[in-house]
Amino acid sequence: MTTSATREGGLRRRLFGWLAALSLLVLACGDASTADPAPPVTLGSVDCETVPVRETDLCHAIDVGGTTVRYVLYEPEGSTGATVLMDPGGPGLSSLAGTGIGQFLATSRLVEHLDGYGFLMVEEPWVTADHTVACRTAGRQHLAALRDGAEPGGLEPWRECLAPGRHGWSPARYREVVGAIAERHELDVDGFVGASFAAARLAYLDGDTAPDWALLANPLPPGMELREVLAHQAESATAVLGGWADAGDVVGQQIDTRSVPVAEIDVVAAAYQVLGQGGFTGPAGPGSADVGILSDLYTGRYGDGAMSLSRLAYFEELCPYTAGAEAAGDPGLPGPTATTAAFGRAYHRPCAALPGGPDRPASWPDSTLVCVVQAPADQVLPAERVQALASGLGATVLDAPAAAGHADLAILTACAEDERFAAVIVP
């Protein structure tokens, strides 16, 4: 077994690295408050045990261009190689270690429609990526500045930390990885099933890797811009906050299980976090402990103020795909959403370090038949705009029930049962 040895080596490197990092930071910043007391994390060689995955027996690791990628592949008995690529969205979702392919299959309720297919789910790179000094510094500074309401720091640390394909997927890297997996197992990736940001991954595919058909729930289509998304989310978050009668009362509270007191920004971030998960129970709004947890989930804050690798992947992939560099510099609009909108823009400031380039996809693959089902009450993405863009790209666009939200994957059955697609999906 190599895992523990790997871990051990990793831990050792972390600690030596930490000492080096600390002295570097002190030299570079001269500011102890932004120095990261935890060591950088270097995992060494990566396999399915590096970060434990849920579906142990289905997990594989493959070296593509010198970096290891992990995925789960289920192949039915007598498989012909016909495979559906599953993508739960993100960016920044821990799909193998956190949720698992079984969860996605069950939530989407598509299993009976996909009888005979194999299923493939690929893990985002950040889950097994090193946590470098540059990124630890950039993330910590960013979160501290947000919390203090200070001027955001310079973009230099972000330029050093972020690069497409490092923590999240770049279009080219995603294509390369899917192609390598398909070749290794002799798979035909016939279908694609995904939610939300999965629409971007579909747009990354082309040529041999382009699927014949794709079913997408509440997608973020090519052409959508970050400023549109942020404007919609600011509106949604403002509405959420309007329903939290006592939300203001928790500001300033210090609880035993959190290193920092609840700040106003935590309440706003908590409102952003619940947009994607179907709201919050209780009439008065979350208490201080829940605000802290929700805020930390949104912003990626963990440990003693570090930023999760998940959020690095989020910036790396979302920003170039949605021309986010421009939105990050947008002065914004006054009005009732001023507070929530200001938070959204400030949080996405690292986008300015990630200009979109010629690699930005403009459409889904020409050869792919795409079905989109969109929840009208989606709080994360503007439903009408999604539908307009998807129609413009030639997709079949279906309405989800009025009560459905961004996270409802069960709406995908509408696509699977649509007669145009039911005929195509048969393997």
Binding-site size for other proteins (CB under 8 A) equals: 102
* Pick from 22, 18, 28, 26: nearest CA to 131: 18
The Cα 117–Cα 81 span in angstroms is: 8
Cα–Cα dist 308/172, whole Å: 24
Q: Which of 29, 44, 54, 163 binds other proteins (CB under 8 A)?
A: 54
237 in contact with other proteins (CB under 8 A): no
In this complex, which beta carbon is closest to other proteins, that of residue 95 or of residue 238? 95
CA 311 centroid distance within chain: 7
Does 109 bind other proteins (CB under 8 A)? Our answer is yes
Distance (Å, whole) CA 69 – CA 48: 9
Residue 7 binds other proteins (CB under 8 A)? yes
Restricted to residues 185-224, the positions that interact with other proteins (CB under 8 A) are 195-197, 217, 220
137 is a contact residue toward other proteins (CB under 8 A): no
284 binds other proteins per the rule CB under 8 A: no
Instruction: Tell whether residue 324 is a contact of other proteins (CB under 8 A).
Output: no
Give least dist CB 335 to other proteins, A. Answer: 25
Strand order in the sheet with 67-74: 59-64, 67-74, 118-122, 82-87, 188-195, 213-217, 369-374, 396-399
Q: Residue 66: CB partners within 8 Å, gap ≥ 6?
A: none
Instruction: Please give the Cα distance from 220 to 216 (Å, whole number).
Output: 9
Q: Which of 154, 242, 252, 282 binds other proteins (CB under 8 A)?
A: 282
For position 131 contacting other proteins by CB under 8 A, the verdict is yes
According to the binding rule CB under 8 A, does residue 225 interact with other proteins? no
Which residue type, as a one-letter code, is found at position 49? Answer: E
Binding mask 351-390 for other proteins (x = CB under 8 A): -----------------------------xx---------
**18, 174, 364, 421: which one contacts other proteins (CB under 8 A)?**
18
**Site for other proteins, residues 66 to 105, rule: CB under 8 A:** 74, 76-77, 88-94, 97-105
Among 42, 45, 107, 363, binds other proteins (CB under 8 A): 107
CB crowding 161-178: b at 16 or more within 10 Å, else e = bbebbbbbbbbebbbbbb
